Amino acid sequence: MGEFVVRGGRRLEGTVRVNGAKNAALPIMAASILAQGPVVLHDVPDLRDVAVMTDVLKAVGATVKRSGADMTIDPRGINQHVVPAHLMQEMRASIFVMGPLLARLGRAEAVQPGGCAIGDRPIDLHLYGFRALGADVQDGGGRTVIAGKNLSPGEIHLAFPSVGATENLMMAASRIPGETRIRNAAMEPEIVDLAQFLEKLGAVVRGAGTSDIRIVGQEWLGTCEHTIIPDRIEAATLALGVAATGGHAVLENCLPDHLPGLWGRLRDVGVRVATEDAERVEIWAPAQYRPAPVSVHTSPYPGFATDMQPQFLAFLLKIPGVHVVSERVFENRLGHSRELRRMGAQIVADQRVALIYGGRPLVGSVVAAPDLRAGAALVIAALMAEGETIIKGREIIERGYQQLAERLSLLGADIGVR
Ligand code: EPZ
């Protein structure tokens, strides 16, 4: 496993462009399976997870061509309904192709996606929804097979607003003539981006971005061209790095409205944030942070995003006071607390709640990324720490952050890879 080597104490300053969103690109790549011909995507990030989804699409028979941030996916050769086990095990988001394969081929098969560091992450809500659309679902022995040539539109009420289940079911429904309704649907911006893609293909999608989505599917869909929305979690990570290092930076291609839970929190502790511009955010960290006890809990959009909880927790180490972070979306997403303690952080945590004693200095150490966003939190902490920090598991972090070291270096960080 590779490493990041960071020497802390440098302010992040300058301008950086936010890349296209990993968590919008992955479902939209999967949705290309539904099209009748080649689709063209723009601003597709160059990430390991995108490469895995590319391999999944090729494995089922699509052709995928990439040129810079542009990608052309031609689904016309798709004739395989089985997702290769090693790809499903490498990336849970491979599950996104199940709905489209069911819609296109009448069948989809995959090993059950493994849990990961942050939780068990079952797929029961996905399977419940496929059954509600008339599919036969066999789910035993570690494999899942869903089949149905004549699916019917239905009403699906999700017990939890699962992002992936909402996306999988929107995709399946878009090729079923008639109106399917998804209640208690996820409302994340990535859902809205997928809906816009499906509409460009010819489906009618109403209510994306609300908890009540109606999809009027068509037996055949067309083709389209689409630009992926900016990655709000990458933007949050960069913003927290600037705020944590006393810096001043402009984030371009950043939609402030996609992070409703973050900007007010930063302002509460004295960080200045300009969000008047629809596609740009400017951040000024203060000379002195306003000591204030901060309490935050994660929840589905538009609540405080779980994907920026680890990075925000690392930032709180800078703020004098006692803070509480409660992770309510995943059952085990505070693993970064253990690693941050190796850097001198004073944190008491169980699997769901952390108590953070902020305002104390951090010192460089050797740490390991437990998962993608926890790894990003370690990078932020290393930028704040005195001395050198070695962060093991660079590839885990690079699943979600393109050219992270290069881009942080351009902002003034002392960070290298090995
Ligand atoms: C998506 O994962 C994101 N991944 C995650 O980002 C993100 O953390 C998550 O949504 C929540 O916002 C992608 O979009 C590729 P969920 P997903 O289904 O769809 C439970 C990152 O760092 N659940 O909304 O898997 C589940 O266990 C990644 O970029 C069920 O119980 O998330 C979890 O506790 C990490 N049954 C909660 O719902 C199901 O069938 C939220 O999961 C599905 C989910």
DSSP conformation class of 177 = B
Same fold: 3-19+230-417 with 22-227: yes
Give the DSSP H or E segment for 105.
helix 98-105
Instruction: Check: CB of residue 248 under 8 Å from CB of residue 62.
Output: no
For residue 108, what are the contacts with CB-CB under 8 A and spacing of at least 6? 81, 83, 97, 98, 99, 101, 102, 145, 146, 147
- Asked if 254 is an active-site residue, the reply is no
Is it the case that residue 311 has pLDDT exceeding 80?
A: yes
Q: Looking at ligand 1, which residue's alpha carbon is closest to its atom 25?
A: 164
Q: What is the pLDDT of residue 116?
A: 78
What mean pLDDT is predicted for residues 224-249?
Answer: 98
What mean pLDDT is predicted for residues 3-19?
Answer: 98
Q: How far is the CA of 164 from the centre of ligand 1 (A)?
A: 6
What mean pLDDT is predicted for residues 252-275?
Answer: 97
Q: How far is the CA of 252 from the centre of ligand 1 (A)?
A: 27
Q: How far is the CA of 189 from the centre of ligand 1 (A)?
A: 14
What mean pLDDT is predicted for residues 195-221?
Answer: 97
Is it the case that residue 114 has pLDDT exceeding 80?
A: no
Where do the domains of the chain lie? Answer: 3-19+230-417, 22-227
CA distance 69 to 83: 25
Q: Looking at ligand 1, which residue's alpha carbon is closest to its atom 27?
A: 121
Q: Are strands 3-7 and 13-17 parallel, antiparallel or unpaired?
A: unpaired
Q: What is the pLDDT of residue 117?
A: 84
Atom of ligand 1 nearest to the CA of 164: 19
Q: How far is CA 87 from CA 83, 95, 194, 326, in A?
A: 7, 10, 22, 32
Give the DSSP H or E segment for 306.
none
Atom of ligand 1 nearest to the CA of 124: 40
CA distance 217 to 226: 19
Q: Is the CB of 415 under 6 A from ligand 1?
A: no
Q: Is the CB of 330 under 6 A from ligand 1?
A: yes
How confident is residue 140, by pLDDT bands cut at 50, 70 and 90?
Answer: confident
Q: Which CATH superfamily is domain 3-19+230-417 in?
A: Enolpyruvate transferase domain (3.65.10.10)
322 exposure class (CB count in 10 Å sphere: 0-12, 13-18, 19+): middle
Is it the case that residue 115 has pLDDT exceeding 80?
A: no
Is it the case that residue 299 has pLDDT exceeding 80?
A: yes
Q: Is the CB of 163 under 6 A from ligand 1?
A: yes
CA distance 277 to 12: 21
Q: What is the pLDDT of residue 150?
A: 87
The CATH classification of domain 22-227, taken from the options 3.20.110.20, 3.65.10.10, 2.102.10.10, 4.10.320.10: 3.65.10.10
Q: Is the CB of 93 under 6 A from ligand 1?
A: yes
* Catalytic residue from among 116, 147, 322, 324: 116
CA angle 330, 331, 334 (to 5 degrees): 85
CA 310 to the chain's CA centroid: 13
Q: Which residues pair with 206 in a beta bridge?
A: 214
Q: What is the pLDDT of residue 107?
A: 98
Q: What is the pLDDT of residue 413?
A: 98
Q: Please give the model's pTM, rounded to 2 decimal places.
A: 0.98
CA distance 147 to 138: 9
Q: How far is the CA of 402 from the centre of ligand 1 (A)?
A: 21
